[in-house]
């Protein structure tokens, strides 16, 4: 068991869940919380999970990063609509060897954070999980839960591997993957389903139950795969789109995070989920017309929703 | 003044308006009405118009085509979702020289009606008008009102010209145009705005007020123009898209007919407005991805709306 000190930024569906798993396994975890701080300080953190419910009555919770100790590993579970906050939230938590793992949606988050902190060791965390924060201090884990880590700029290979081992020890199915491939692999599911459940005010199962939208979802997946191919990710092809369709067919009816953001009138993660990947693909000469259209629809819907 | 006898099928925003204009000008007009028959028989037909209101207290109204005299000209203002009804509604109204004018939305209506009546003389009527039936026997004409006629299969050139003259005599801005060009010219406006006002539950002005959807509408217009070019209509280029954008900017906030159909839970004209032109363009080697996506969204929305 490692003695790494973890900090978690964002106690939502992602940071709350993975942080709680690590803490339950005995790791030292410090949670930075904005909206849930008062609640978790008194009542702790509660996970309702398909793998078995558990609670952490006492956690290290903080309302400001200035009160927190520096960490060896920072797990970022912040919404990318608040990405700019990392410019002030991260510095108090960093020592020269800290690894920051961005468990966030979309394409381009590592590039932006790296531009703000050029010497920072960064990794991408890709969570394949259905979970949601249902109320302060409560995370509902519906299904799945694996995570893959892609090394973006961490030169300390031993640290990176220790983190992977810590995740596995905590009962999390964790593996290392190629960074760029992993980000685009996740986009194959995220780009169609997040936006379409908002645009059509529906859930994953309904989109797949109707022939017209089932075809559209598949076409959008193939646009993402085409973009990934154009950017040098050669491992993705139509068999992966078919696999994602099948996986979603077998899932419970699901509202992705963007649909929940819409429902609660929160800003939607349009920039990193759509604008950035669309721009990166276009720069490589690949156009995603259906996802460009979806982005434009979402920008309209987002403006009206606030 | 001609002595042509007109029959109008459908007393809605289109048939009611143009039929009323012809009747007011002294033409013999016979109206076939389904839902409005009882009302107009007792109370007549009322037009609220930006060009001046008028009423026709007594009109020749019928509840069945079997009660009507044969006509020299049949004006069809039926929704294309009821296109199949023409197979039984038209025959009682026809003599060997009857010209049938389809003032309907979309691409492919003439081809289908011709397949049912191979010897019929057909023309397309393209109405550039903002109008709506607000209640039985009442049509609200908000703005515009011109019509262009495209000869599809009428060999009686004198008859065709007489009809044009009758429209002009009735105060309608009417001109002859090339059939195929006219159908696609209208599609440049119809395909983006009809579907997008439904997909985003909005009106024309809001779509143009937001930068993202303004770009999308323009991109969709250019897809229609590309399809028209691929099908041999060379007269349309981006200057026409720009003109349509400007015209719509200057219009009152408008709910196109598909939006009204949606609002009243009526079937939407997806087949002739989207499915057919998309298929014809594809057959000519041109793909309209944004309008294909819109068609798929509309099929999903339509199924849920009924």
- How do residues B72-123 score in pLDDT, each as one tens digit? 999 999 999 999 999 999 999 999 999 999 999 999 999 999 999 999 999 9
Indicate if B42 and B124 belong to the same structural domain. yes
Q: Give the pLDDT score at B252.
A: 86
Indicate if B134 and B50 belong to the same structural domain. yes
Nearest C-alpha in A relative to B275? A212
| pLDDT beyond 70 at A33 | yes
Strands A54-56 and A45-49: antiparallel
Q: Comparing C-alpha atoms, which of A194, A211, A204 is closest to residue A249?
A: A204
Task: Mutation target for B interface from A202, A212, A274: give the one with most B CBs within 10 A.
Answer: A212
Give the one of A207, A292, A303 whose C-beta lies nearest to B210's C-beta: A303
> Are A21 and A86 in contact, with CB atoms under 8 Å apart?
no
H or E stretch at A17: helix A15-24
Q: Give the pLDDT score at B130.
A: 87
Indicate if A136 and A187 belong to the same structural domain. no
Backbone dihedral angles phi then psi of residue A161, each to the nearest 5 degrees: -70, -35
Q: Give the pLDDT score at A191.
A: 98
Nearest C-alpha in A relative to B303? A210
Indicate if B111 and B45 belong to the same structural domain. yes
Using alpha carbons, list the distances in angstroms from residue B260 to A38, A237, B15, B82, B199.
50, 42, 17, 16, 13
pLDDT tens-digit readout, B78-88: 999 999 999 99
Helices A211-230 and A276-283: angle between axes, nearest 10 degrees = 50
Please report, for the domain that includes residue A47, its CATH number: 3.40.50.720
- Is A132 in the B-facing interface, judged by CB distances under 8 Å? no
Domain end, chosen from A177, A204, A219, is at A177
Residues of A involved in catalysis: 186
Range of the domain at A282: 181-304
A212 with B296: Cβ contact below 8 A: yes
Tokens of B62: 């019928």
Q: How far apart are CA A8 and CA A77, in angstroms?
A: 7
Q: Give the pLDDT score at A1.
A: 63
**Contact map slice: A 201-230 vs B, CB within 8 A:** 202, 206-207, 210-213, 215-216, 219
pLDDT tens-digit readout, B144-161: 899 999 999 999 999 999
Q: Give the pLDDT score at B2.
A: 81
Contacts of A206 in chain B (CB under 8 A): 300
Contacts of B301 in chain A (CB under 8 A): 200
Indicate if B9 and B89 belong to the same structural domain. yes
Indicate if A151 and A230 belong to the same structural domain. no
Indicate if A150 and A286 belong to the same structural domain. no
Domain total in chain A: 2
Banded pLDDT at B132 (limits 50, 70, 90): confident
Number of separate helices (H) and strands (E) present in chain A:
13, 10
Indicate if B202 and B248 belong to the same structural domain. yes
Task: Report, as an integer, the average pLDDT of B190-203.
Answer: 98
B300 with A199: Cβ contact below 8 A: no
Indicate if A196 and A155 belong to the same structural domain. no
Indicate if B145 and B251 belong to the same structural domain. no
Indicate if A166 and A289 belong to the same structural domain. no
Indicate if B100 and B216 belong to the same structural domain. no
DSSP annotation of B77 reads: -
CB-CB neighbours of A53 under 10 Å: 11
């Amino acid at each position: 068991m490692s003695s790494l000190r973890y900090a978690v930024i964002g106690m939502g569906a992602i940071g709350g869940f993975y942080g709680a798993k690590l803490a339950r396994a005995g790791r030292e975890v410090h949670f930075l919380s904005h909206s849930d701080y008062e609640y978790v300080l008194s009542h702790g953190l509660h996970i309702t999970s398909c793998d078995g419910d558990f609670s952490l009555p006492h956690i290290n919770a903080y309302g400001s990063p200035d009160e927190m100790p520096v960490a060896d590993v920072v797990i970022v579970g912040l919404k990318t609509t608040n990405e700019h906050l990392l410019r002030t939230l991260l510095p108090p938590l960093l020592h020269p060897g800290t690894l920051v793992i961005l468990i966030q949606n979309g394409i381009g988050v590592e590039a932006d954070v790296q531009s703000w902190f050029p010497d920072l060791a960064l990794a991408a965390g890709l969570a394949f999980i259905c979970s949601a924060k249902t109320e302060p201090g409560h995370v509902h884990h519906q299904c799945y839960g694996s995570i893959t880590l892609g090394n973006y700029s961490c030169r300390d290979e031993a640290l990176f591997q220790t983190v992977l081992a810590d995740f596995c020890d905590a009962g999390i199915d964790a593996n290392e993957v190629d960074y760029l491939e992993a980000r685009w692999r996740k986009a194959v599911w995220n780009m169609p389903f997040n936006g379409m459940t908002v645009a059509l005010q529906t859930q994953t199962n309904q989109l797949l139950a109707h022939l017209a939208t089932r075809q559209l979802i598949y076409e959008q997946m193939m646009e993402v795969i085409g973009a990934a191919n154009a950017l040098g990710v050669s491992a993705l092809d139509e068999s992966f789109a078919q696999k994602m369709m099948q996986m979603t067919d077998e899932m419970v009816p699901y509202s992705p995070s963007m649909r929940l953001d819409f429902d609660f009138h929160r800003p939607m993660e349009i920039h990193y989920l759509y604008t950035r990947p669309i721009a990166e693909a276009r720069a490589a000469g690949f156009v995603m017309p259906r996802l460009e259209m979806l982005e434009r629809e979402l920008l309209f819907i987002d403006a009206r929703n606030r």
